[in-house]
Structure 1
Amino acid sequence: MTALHLWLRHESRTTERRTPIVPSDARRLIESGATLTVEDSPQRVFPAEAYEAVGCRVAEAGSWVTAPPDAVIVGLKELPDDPTALIHRHIFFGHAFKGQPGAGSLLRRFLAGGGTLLDLEYLVDDNGRRLAAFGYWAGYLGAALALLHHRGLLTAPLQPTSKEELDERLRAATGEVRALVIGALGRSGRGARVALGVAGADPTCWDLAETRELDRPALLGHELMVNTVLTTRPVPPFLTDKDLDDPGRRLRTLCDVTVDVGSPLNLLPVYDTPTGWDEPVRRLREQPVLDLIAIDNLPSLLPLEASTDFSAALTPLLPDFEVGGSWGRCRERFDEAVRELRAGKGESGDL
Structure 2
Amino acid sequence: MPKIGILKEGKVPIDRRVAIIPSQAKYIKENFPGVDLVCQKSDIRCFPDEDYTSEGIELVNDVQDCDIIFGVKEVPLGQLIPDKTYFFFSHTIKKQDYNRELLNEALDKNIRLIDYETLTDANNQRIIAFGRYAGIVGAYNGIWSYGKRYNLFNIRRAHECFDLEDMKTEYDKIKLPKIKIVITGGGRVGKGAMEVLLGLGIRKVTPERFVSEDFNEPVFTQLNSRDYNKHKEGKEFSRSEFFESPGNFESDFYQYAKCADLLIACAYWHPEAPVLFTREDATHRDFKINIIADVTCDIEGSIPSTIRPAVIDDPVFDYDPTTGKEMPAFAEEGNITVMSVDNLPCELPRNASEDFGHELVNNVLPCLFGDDPDKIVERATIAENGKLTSHYSYLQDYANGKA
Same fold (TM over 0.5): yes
Counterpart position of 2:377:
327
Q: Distance in 2 between matches of 1:335 and 1:136?
A: 30
- Residue by residue over 1:158-194, the C-alpha shift from the partner in whole angstroms, topping out at 9 and shown as x without a partner, is 53532233222233213222100000x2111111112
User: Which residue is equivalent to 2:210?
Assistant: none
CA contact (8 A) 1:160 1:303 kept: no
Identify the residue that residue 277 of structure 1 maps to in structure 2.
Answer: 312
Aligned-residue offset at 1:350 = 11
5+ unaligned residues in a row in structure 2: which ranges?
149-153, 204-219, 231-250, 321-331
Query: Residue 74 in 1 paired to residue 70 in 2?
Result: yes
Residue 209 in 1 paired to residue 226 in 2? yes
Structure 2 matches for 1:115-194, cutoff 5 A?
115-152=111-148, 153=154, 158-175=159-176, 176-183=178-185, 185-194=186-195
| Cα contact 2:345–2:352 (8 A) shared by 1 | yes
Partner of 2:59: 58
Distance 1:117 1:36 in 2: 19
Q: Does 1:107 align with 2:161?
A: no
Deviation at 1:78, TM superposition (A): 2.1
SS at match of 1:235: coil
Q: Secondary structure at the match of 1:28?
A: helix
Measured in 2, the distance between the counterparts of 1:119 and 1:298 equals 19
Q: 1: CA distance between counterparts of 2:167 and 2:338?
A: 20
Whole-Å separation in 1 of the counterparts to 2:157 and 2:172: 19
Contact 2:138-2:294 within 8 A present in 1 as well = yes
Query: In the alignment, does 2:255 pair up with 1:218?
Result: yes
1:102 aligned counterpart, secondary structure: helix
Q: Distance in 2 between matches of 1:345 and 1:331?
A: 16
The answer as to whether partners of 2:120 and 2:127 remain within 8 angstroms in 1 is: yes
Asked if the contact 2:91/2:99 (under 8 Å) is kept, the reply is yes
Instruction: Give secondary structure in 2 for the equivalent of 1:151.
Output: helix
- Structure-1 separation of matches of 2:80 and 2:356: 29
Residue of structure 2 in register with 1:298 after alignment:
344
Residue 239 of structure 1 and its aligned partner are, at CA, apart by 3.1
Spell out the pairing of 1:37-56 with structure 2 (5 A cutoff).
Answer: 37-56=38-57
TM-score by length of 2: 0.76
Question: Contact 1:188–1:228 (CA<8 Å) still a contact in 2?
Answer: yes
Deviations 1:202-253 (A, max 9, x none): 3111012213323232232211111111245731121333333333321111
Q: Give the match for residue 253 of structure 1.
A: 291
Does structure 1 conserve the Cα–Cα contact (< 8 Å) formed by 2:158 and 2:348? no
Separation in 2, partners of 1:343, 1:337: 14
1:104-141 CA-to-partner distances (Å, cap 9, x unmatched) read 22211111111122110111111121111111121111
The equivalent residue for 1:239 is: 277
1:267: Cα distance to partner?
A: 2.9
Q: Take 1:329 and 1:337, find their aligned partners in 2: how far apart are those partners?
A: 7
Distance 1:84 1:47, change over 3 A: closer
Q: Which range moved further: 250-259 or 13-22?
A: 13-22
Instruction: Report the secondary structure of 2:381's partner residue.
Output: helix
User: Partner letter of residue 330 of structure 1?
Assistant: A
Decide which of 1, 4, 7 is 2:2's aligned counterpart.
Answer: 4
Task: Give the aligned partner of residue 246 of structure 2.
Answer: none
Report what 1:36 is aligned to: 37
Residues 161 and 167 of structure 2 are in contact (CA less than 8 Å); yes or no, is this contact kept in structure 1? no
**Letter of the structure 2 residue corresponding to residue 114 of structure 1:** N
Tell me, what secondary structure is at the counterpart of 1:148?
helix
- Count of residue correspondences: 338
Query: CA separation of 1:241/1:337 partners in 2, compared to 1, >3 Å: closer, same or farther?
Result: farther
* Separation in structure 1 between the aligned mates of residue 158 and residue 166 of structure 2, nearest angstrom: 16
Q: CA RMSD in A?
A: 2.8
Cα shift at 1:91: 0.6
CA distance in 2, matches of 1:275, 1:215: 28
Instruction: Indicate conservation of the 8 Å contact 1:247/1:288, yes or no.
Output: no
Look up the equivalent residue of 2:173 and give its one-letter code.
A
Q: Which amino acid aligns with 1:300?
A: C
SS in structure 1 at match of 2:102:
helix
Which whole-Å CA distance do the structure 1 matches of 2:379 and 2:391 have between them? 12
Q: Structure 1 stretches of 5 or more lacking a match?
A: none
Task: Return the letter of the residue paired with 1:182.
Answer: T
What is the CA–CA distance in structure 2 between the aligned matches of 1:147 and 1:100, rounded to whole Å? Answer: 31
3-state DSSP class of the match of 1:321?
A: helix
Q: Distance in 1 between matches of 2:91 and 2:162?
A: 27
Moved more, 309-318 or 212-221: 212-221
